[in-house]
Amino acid sequence: MKIDLSVEAGGVRMASPLLMASGTFGFGREMDAFYDLSILGGICSKGLTVAPRLGNDPPRAAETASGMLNSVGLQNPGIDAFLEHELPFMRQTGCKTIVNIAGYSVEDYVAMAEKLTDEAIDAIELNLSCPNVRTGCMLIGSDPLQLTEVIQAVRAVTDKPIWAKLTPNVTSISQMAVAAADAGADAVVLINTLMGMAVDWKTRRPILKNNTGGLSGPAIKPVALRMVSEVYQQVDIPIIGVGGILCAEDVLDFMVAGASAVQIGTANLISPCAAVKITHDLRQLLGKENLTRISTLTGTLQLWS
Amino acid sequence: MDKIPADPAGQRHGIKYDPVTTCEVAALVRLNSDTSQLTLKAPRIAAAAEPGQFVNLEAGHFLRRPIGVMAVDRQQGLVQLGIRVQGRGTEWLSRLRPGTVLSVMGPLGKGFQLEGYRRVITVGGGTGVFPLYYVQQMCREQGIDGIAVCGYRSKADSVLTDHYRAAGCQVLFASDEGDLDVEGHAAAALEQLLQSLEMDRQEDTLIAACGPNIMMQAVAKIADVYQYDCQVSLEERMACGVGVCLVCVCKTKTKTGEANSRCCVDGPVFPAKEVVW
């Protein structure tokens, strides 16, 4: 049976619902040594800032039950070096290029969006959710007024699809998603990492030099699923689901809950070829259920009344 | 990296080279109260691993654990690793039993660059003596003169001393308690050694260090004073092992200033002159 894995989400038509989450795939170069990246739906670039950033001091990672904390702190070469050295590589991978940008201010997001608008990219992912920098990002994304301002300002300078990647570290994710949709976002990406901490009681120190970090991995999948399901009831724009996906069943759970596409993040750090296996297993699972088009599953979850 | 053939069943469509393989535990030998020697049946890794490279091992929890390669037997396809219990992952690894199958990624990283040297002085402290043992084995294979300086807390804490003695290199064992050849830490023993050597082989001698940061920093300084080339193997908490997550960084000098380099792919071995301590 021929299985159609193609989906459309947030103005981007993709051969597969699998996107590689920002910060877990670099710009694709390292992973290109391991498999043919054209099997993917797309790659979300490492989060970019206006100027290059060294990121936080190590240790930058700590293990947790069923997951990990990271506090990389947006180490990146800056938008200009990205355009010159990394974008040409991303363009020839055969999958979609999503550029993740992280600002300290509205002006930062606008400046980067202006540089990207005439480039051959498929979507701009607004990082409104990084928990590891002191200003911008999550602070902007936790305030519906600032979030609205950023999305409107970026909308005014580009026709590229805008994906708003939201933080779960808020009282109401639906409020943020509604604000993003009203401001003109083409999709919401749910969720970035949950802010957390790991402690070494013997040294009386946090393990991360940044004290806190972002929790990812299967530990957060139930939280992400709940948020995708909740937001699906509230907004009409597509949802891209992310949070602890390790296997094909996880992908289908997110799609049924309301996601039009998904992002694979921490799984890439455990198994570089995770997406290859997931792609294969998706075909198998759908075939067994006589489902020929994966996109028909989106939002088919029937909540108990 | 070598390429592996595509899966004939076509189940892994698109794979060029999967760095992850499954390996069976051949043996686990306890060396002292907190240190063990793990032997894996891993022909692909045994064939490809160079001194200073590491593997990223499944360790019973979520993240893998990076462990330097201690020795390989290419004929029998075996890889040996030294495991010291430092946390939950290494604790789990130190309880493995023969026959257990593990997911192992590797070999990974840039190892020691021995080309062009006719003599290599290894300086190891703590678990650093494991990967440096592989350096001495390689020196023997390639006809490079080897001198090994190993630092331990005490004689009771010492490991691999018989291995090093049998490796055909000159050996110098130091302990903090003074119950081995030299009293003091490995860097102090290195300095004593250098004072006793003729100062005529700076050009063709490499000092290769692996151990606690404070030891490597002292070794780098001594190497600089005595004008020897020095390479150090750095360690940092790691996640992916393949360069994508930017977790395991260390500060290095570049033409334009400082950078955060990745221990997993830019290292773990760096020229000592490039490291910002």
Query: Residue B133: which domain range?
Result: 119-274
- Cβ distance B14 to A72 less than 8 Å, yes or no, reads no
User: Per residue in A280-298, pLDDT tens?
Assistant: 999 999 999 999 999 999 9
Does the active-site annotation cover A130? yes
B15 part of a folded domain: no
**Domains observed in chain A:** 7-297 (3.20.20.70)
Both B94 and B158 in one domain: the answer is: no
- Cβ distance A273 to B260 less than 8 Å, yes or no, reads no
CATH number, domain of B162, equals 3.40.50.80
Residue among B17, B62, B63 whose CB faces A34 most closely: B17
| B248 touching A (Cβ < 8 Å) | yes
Query: What pLDDT sits at residue B12?
Result: 65
Both B86 and B29 in one domain: the answer is: yes
Residue among A24, A66, A207 whose CB faces B245 most closely: A24
- Cβ distance B245 to A72 less than 8 Å, yes or no, reads yes
B9 part of a folded domain: no
Query: What pLDDT sits at residue B202?
Result: 83
Cross-sheet strand order for the sheet of B170-175: B182-183, B170-175, B145-152, B119-125, B205-210, B229-233, B269-271
Both B179 and B56 in one domain: the answer is: no
Cβ-based contacts of B243 with chain A (< 8 Å): 26, 30
Strands (E), B111-204: 119-125, 145-152, 170-175, 182-183
Those residues of chain A that have pLDDT short of 50 are none
Q: What whole-number distance in Å separates Cα of residue A258 and Cα of residue A253?
A: 9
Both B100 and B168 in one domain: the answer is: no
CATH number, domain of B33, equals 2.40.30.10
Query: What pLDDT sits at residue A131?
Result: 84
Q: What whole-number distance in Å separates Cα of residue B139 and Cα of residue B149?
A: 15
Q: What whole-number distance in Å separates Cα of residue B220 and Cα of residue B107?
A: 26
User: Per residue in A53-103, pLDDT tens?
Assistant: 999 999 999 999 999 999 999 999 999 999 999 999 999 999 999 999 999
Residue A255's beta-bridge partner residues? none
Phi, psi of B102 (to 5 degrees): -120, 150
Torsion of CA A246, A247, A252, A255, to 10 degrees: 30
| DSSP character at residue A59 | P
Residue B153's beta-bridge partner residues? none
Question: Do the beta carbons of residue A231 and residue A174 sit within 8 Å?
Answer: yes
Both B84 and B175 in one domain: the answer is: no
Residue A58 structure tokens: 């190590």
Greatest alpha-carbon pair distance for chain A in Å reads: 58
Q: Which residue of B has its CA nearest to A244?
A: B62
| B17 touching A (Cβ < 8 Å) | yes
Query: What pLDDT sits at residue B9?
Result: 44
Q: Which residue of A has its CA nearest to B13?
A: A276
Query: What pLDDT sits at residue A156?
Result: 98
| B7 touching A (Cβ < 8 Å) | no
pLDDT per residue of chain B (277 residues) written in tens, 0 to 9: 333 344 444 456 789 999 999 999 999 999 999 999 999 999 999 999 999 999 999 999 999 999 999 999 999 999 999 999 999 999 999 999 999 999 999 999 999 999 999 999 999 999 999 999 999 999 999 999 999 999 999 999 999 999 999 999 999 999 999 999 999 999 999 999 999 988 778 889 999 999 999 999 999 999 999 999 999 999 999 999 999 999 999 999 988 899 999 999 999 999 999 999 9
B44 part of a folded domain: yes
Give the distance from residue B46's alpha carbon to the nearest chain A alpha carbon, in angstroms.
20
Both B64 and B137 in one domain: the answer is: no
Both B128 and B260 in one domain: the answer is: yes
How many other CB atoms are found less than 10 A from the CB of residue B101?
Answer: 12
Q: Which residue of B has its CA nearest to A277?
A: B12
Percent of chain A having pLDDT more than 70? 100
Per the structure, how many domains does chain B have?
2
Instruction: Give the length of chain A.
Output: 305
Residue among B62, B105, B249 whose CB faces A68 most closely: B62
Query: What pLDDT sits at residue B14?
Result: 87
Of B88, B108, B128, the residue that ends a domain is B108
Both B197 and B81 in one domain: the answer is: no
Instruction: Give the distance, in angstroms, between the CA of residue B52 and the centroid of all CA atoms in the same chain.
Output: 4
Of B44, B74, B108, the residue that ends a domain is B108
Residue A92 structure tokens: 């020839």
B5 part of a folded domain: no
Both B103 and B133 in one domain: the answer is: no
Cβ-based contacts of B247 with chain A (< 8 Å): 58, 60-61, 70, 72
Both B136 and B238 in one domain: the answer is: yes
Q: What whole-number distance in Å separates Cα of residue B73 and Cα of residue A35?
A: 29
B100 part of a folded domain: yes
B13 part of a folded domain: no
Could you report the predicted ipTM of this complex, rounded to two decimals?
Answer: 0.94
Give me the catalytic one of A130, A137, A247, A273: A130
Both B134 and B264 in one domain: the answer is: yes
B264 part of a folded domain: yes
B81 part of a folded domain: yes
| B15 touching A (Cβ < 8 Å) | yes
Asked if residue A124 has a cis previous peptide bond (ω within 30° of 0), the answer is: no
Both B175 and B260 in one domain: the answer is: yes
Query: What pLDDT sits at residue B7?
Result: 43
Task: State which amino acid sits at residue A173.
Answer: I
Of B53, B88, B108, the residue that ends a domain is B108
3-state secondary structure of A195: strand
